[in-house]
Amino acid sequence: MELDVREVRRLMAAKGYTVKATAKAAGVSPIALGKWLNHGVKPRLDTIGRLANALDVDLYDIAKD
């Protein structure tokens, strides 16, 4: 599974979340989140799960095969 960057961006925008706020809620650095969103770096599955929790969605809402 990998992160669905488009969906994460869409959810962040819909909820009015910044990269900094989303990263803090997920327990990751804003730099790491920025790398995932902008540079194709792939987070681990457990980290995608923490990001899903921060966005208040299911893991499968932001992950793709």
User: Which residue stretches of the chain are H helix?
Assistant: 5-15, 19-26, 30-38, 45-55, 59-62
The predicted-structure confidence for 1-29, as pLDDT tens digits, reads as follows 999 999 999 999 999 999 999 999 999 99
Cα-only R_g, the chain:
10
In order of their start, the domains of the chain are: 2-64 (1.10.260.40)
Q: Report whether 3 contacts 50 (CB < 8 A).
A: no
pTM: 0.93
Element (H, E) at 16: none
Residue 65's pLDDT band (cuts 50, 70, 90): confident
